[in-house]
Structures are given as structure tokens and as C-alpha cells.
Chains A and B, each alone.
Chain A
Amino acid sequence: MEIVNVEHLTKVFPLKKRLFSKEQPYVRAVDEISFTIEKGKILGLVGESGCGKTTIAKLLVRLLHPTGGKISIRGKDIADLRGEKLKKFRKNIQMIFQDPYESLNPRLTIHSTIAEPLIAQGLYSPEKIHEALEVVGLKPPEGFFYRYPHELSGGQRQRVAIARALVIEPIFVVADEPTSMLDVSIRAGVLNLMLALKKRFELTVLFVTHDLAVARYMCDDIAVMHRGKIVEIGNAEDVIQNPKHSYTKALLSAVPIPNPKAKRKRIRAREKVICI
């Protein structure tokens, strides 16, 4: 069953106009993107910085308004929703942000932070906050209620961010590089947690990352982006082991591998490139 269906999604940003010119230059950050995500699956959106993947993440949670195209969540197009209708629909789509330091309000306690989405959607109950913290592994929850973000470690903060995203029981979650700012040994824990939660709550996820190795670990399918377009999309193992597009191949060949023997073969095969 399709949960997410994106068709010809486009977003342009205006650039600074030249002083006496009538033309308004713009950049196509997202250029006619289409993809679907089935229920319970994780789609990885992979690419380098500036390729548009974060813009797509923001479009899907309607932090940005698309310039064109459709975003259908369970059949309903949310691309042009506004006001009350948009607010009601927000219950179904949530986001986990990249920076564990910046995604929590430094002046709110953990309890208040998790309560906010519940209050906004009219679903508040103290039990839900308790359960949310337990589910992400912050035990005992009471010990975390009245603490502030700066008292927590990066990994704990990210767990709070996950709890906040899941507390209103969305059907679709967008994760924007959720572990790239965490220490490596903490990363594994958070990634495994996300996989477990996806399974338990049958979540549909869009996982944005620049790290192909993480994408391979987490995702069922992978879409590779370059300059606002999807250049290759398919089953994760397929894309990784048998890349078809030249950009995907270039990207894969550049990923460092934690195995000294494997890498030595590759270095000899590459040529030096002069930057102009």
C-alpha cells in the first residue's frame, strides 16, 4: 500500500536580481522529483550537499511550499494545504532533525518539549509522554521529565527528538541526517532504535543522508540525487552493488571503506584530477 506518492515535485528559489535587469534569476533546487514509498518501508535519499535532499525533506513536512507538483500522503494531496487543514494533517507527518543541539528548545524541559506536539494537536495526556520516553530507551522516564537539553548527551537528545516526533503517532516520518552529528559508537544505537521503532509502529520513513554506508544499513530502497534531480532509484542492495548511473558509480567509488585491503585496490585505479 502506497503511503507517500510524490509527483513532479519542484521548488525554485529566487536569486539576487541584477541591479538593472528585469529578469529574476532563480535556482531549481528540486526539479520534477517523483517517487513513492510503500507502507512500512524506508526510502533513503542520498546525495552530496546542495543536491536538494534537505529541500525535499522540508517540502514533505511543508516547512516549505512547493512551486509545483503533488505530494500525496495516503491519497490526499498536501502540496497546497493551508491553515486549519494543514494543521490537522500535520499529525500524520513528522520530522527528526539533524542537529541534536539545535532541535530542542534550550528553555523547555524535556517534558514540555514532548508535550508541545500533543498540545498542538489536542492529544495531551501525561501517560503518552511517559510512554514516548520509555519507547526510545530513556529510562526511567521520570528522571528525564524535568531536565533541560544541555544536561543531556547528544545521543540522549536525539532520542528525545525521536520521542517528540513519534508521540503524536504519525504515519510518515522524515529523518534529515539524524545521526551525522553523533559520535560513531552512539550512532549505531540510535540507528538500531529507529529500525526497531519503524518495525513496531509500521512507520513509513524518508531517510535523508549523505552517507551511503548508513543508507545501505537503514533503507529498503535508495534514491540518488544530483543537482535537484533523482538520477537513480531502486532497491538498496541493487543500487549499491550494481549502480547504473555514472554519478552513482562515482559516488560509490569515493566512499571510504573500513577495510585496508579493499581500499588499496581502488586507490591504484583512480587518476589524479586537477581542480580548475
Chain B
Amino acid sequence: MNAVLEIKNLTMSYETSAGSVSAVDNVSFKIMPGEAMGLVGESGCGKTSLGMSIMKLLPENAKITHGEIIFDGEDVVAKTEAEMRRIRWEGISMVFQAAMNALNPVIKVGDQIIEAIMAHENIKKEKAREKVRALYEMVGLAPERMVNYPHEYSGGMRQRAIIAMALACDPKFIIADEPTTALDVIVQDEIIDEIVNIQRKLNMIMMYISHDISVIAETCDKIGVMYAGHLIEYADTFALFDNPLHPYTRALMSSFPSIEGPRKELKPVPGEPPNLLDPPQGCRFYPRCSHAQEICDNQRPELVEREKDHFSACHRVI
């Protein structure tokens, strides 16, 4: 079986007045058909930059300097803007952070989705409307609400509408970047449920980007952990939680309090993430790592398969 999405050695940076910021450095992974992959990490780790790179929605000063993004057999990096416009929405679709504020306040919500569909497919308005009605059912919105304006929707409803819009052109691949951050816990739970169900039903692949490892735990089959632009661990969800190999993954997990199980003490990670203007040569987690060795400072560890289908970029072998 071939991977639907394959990222090979992707390297990307931003040009700023202060210099070149290395945002994504030599990242590689695959998403197989039907899989949901979670990309977890803190702010500045490069996960959002990675998502935007796949959609080629990068700002002027961003450059993909190396690597390939192979979607459905074709390399996206080489494509022109015109070609990308066809791929977006139809092939790859994205739900952004706080996307619910991206709805046009003076156009009815249903009409906005109809517009999106008609811009990409050659179908009559009535057919498009039918489609939107079906989408509403799928995301858990009452179709009667298609005629309302965004301000008449609650935050959760707006987010569902955005998800409906992302699904409108039957994409094969959905990238969701913190789709529930601005929402309340109960609404968040419903939305996440919805997303998982839809992904399974339509047999799409999904990339779920978040800083919240709890949410990733319940939605994704595989997890990639990013730190300072590097992919430092990659494994099946259960395997990752059972036995996190990389010190950063362990540190990350022990900084999430839980309502389940015994009340354990949170262990903070000392120090700060590195300055990406001048990243260290060796392992980027080295200064904060409690298991650091000399080799970690000099040589950047490669992402190596340590256990079956469980990759870690660390010199330390447990």
C-alpha cells in the first residue's frame, strides 16, 4: 500500500530582518490511507509551519529550501500557485486555528459554503445547496440554520461550519490546526468526536496539529512529536504513550495534569526552547535534557527506528 502523503527531508525557513529562522529542519514521515496523524509540540516547534508548507500557504518571506512533499504521487513543492489552487480544497483542505473568525460576517453561512463549492466544481447552485445540506447533517448542524449569519451561530457552531466548508469539495486529506483551542471543553469534545467520525466515515487521511497531547491521544492513530523544528519521535499512539523513548516526549507527558489516575507531581522542563535564528549544531534539546551526553552537543541525532514502527531521534539507547 502506498502512502497518501509522504514528507521527505522537508526543510523550511523564514527570512527576517534579524536573519534566517530555521522553522522546519529535515522532517520526514508518511501517512497511510485512512490514518489520522497527530503532530504535537509547543509554540515555535514548527508544526504550524509544516502544515502551511503542505498547503503552500506560506507568507512572502518563507522558503522551502529542501525536501519533498509527495501527495497522491506528486511533489507539491514544485507546483505553481495555479496548480496549488486546484489541489487546495479538492485534494487537501485545512481547518485553521480560530478559523471560526474567518467567516464573512455579512454573508449567510450556507451561502459561503455554496460559493466555495461552486468555485471549485462545475455544478448548479441547487445541487451545491443539496450538498451543503448533507454536509450540515454530517457535522452535526441543523440544515435550517444555513440561512443564518455567522454572528447568529455560537463559537462551536461556527467551527462546525468551517469544518463543513473544509469538507465541501471531498478532499482526500484534511489538516486541522488547533481546531478547538478557542472553544469550551464540552463543545471541544463534541467537535473532536465529529472530526474523528467524519474522518473514519469518509476514509480521509488527517493531520491533527495541536499542543495538547490529550486531544491528540484520543483522535490520532500515529503521533509525531516536534521540537524546535525537528521531528524527534514518531510512533503509533499506544506505543508512544506506553513507552516514550525521547527525553522531550517524556518531559512533555509529565507536564500534563490529568483528572484520571493518582495525582502525580508535574515535572517542569528547565530552560527555554533554542533560538531558531542560530540553532545549535547537535541535538536541539541538548541544553535542557537531563540525560545529555557529550555526543548530543556535537552530532544531531537521526530519526531511527528503535522498536517496531517506533522512531526516535536520540543518541541514548534505552
Residues in chain A within 8 A of chain B (CB atoms): 48-49, 153, 155, 183-189, 191-192, 210, 212-214, 216-217, 237, 240, 250-264, 267, 270, 272-276
Tally of chain B residues near chain A (CB < 8 A): 50
Query: Are the CB atoms of B260 and A259 closer together than 8 Å?
Result: yes
Interface residues of A, dominant DSSP:
helix
Given A185-B268, A274-B141, check contact A257 B258 (CB 8 Å).
yes
Partner of B268, one of A189, A217, A240: A189
Query: Are the CB atoms of B258 and A258 closer together than 8 Å?
Result: yes
Residues on B with beta carbons closer than 8 Å to the beta carbon of A183: 42-43, 211
B183, chain A: closest CB distance, angstroms: 9
Partner of A185, one of B42, B184, B257: B42
- Assembled-state Cα–Cα distance A256/B188 (Å): 9
Residues on A with beta carbons closer than 8 Å to the beta carbon of B154: 275
Does any Cβ of A come within 8 Å of B190's Cβ?
yes
Residues in chain B within 8 A of chain A (CB atoms): 42-43, 140-142, 145, 154, 156-157, 160, 184-186, 188-190, 192-194, 196-197, 211-215, 217-218, 237-238, 241, 251-261, 263, 265-270, 272
Given A189-B268, A216-B263, check contact A263 B160 (CB 8 Å).
no
Partner of B255, one of A49, A188, A216, A260: A188
Residues on A with beta carbons closer than 8 Å to the beta carbon of B211: 183-184
Query: Are the CB atoms of B251 and A185 closer together than 8 Å?
Result: yes
Residues on B with beta carbons closer than 8 Å to the beta carbon of A272: 140, 193-194, 197
- Give the nearest-CB partner of B214 in chain A: A256
Query: Are the CB atoms of B268 and A254 closer together than 8 Å?
Result: no
A103, chain B: closest CB distance, angstroms: 18
Query: Are the CB atoms of B218 and A256 closer together than 8 Å?
Result: yes
Query: Are the CB atoms of B217 and A257 closer together than 8 Å?
Result: yes
- Assembled-state Cα–Cα distance A255/B190 (Å): 11
- Give the nearest-CB partner of A252 in chain B: B259
Query: Are the CB atoms of B217 and A256 closer together than 8 Å?
Result: yes
Residues on A with beta carbons closer than 8 Å to the beta carbon of B260: 257, 259, 262
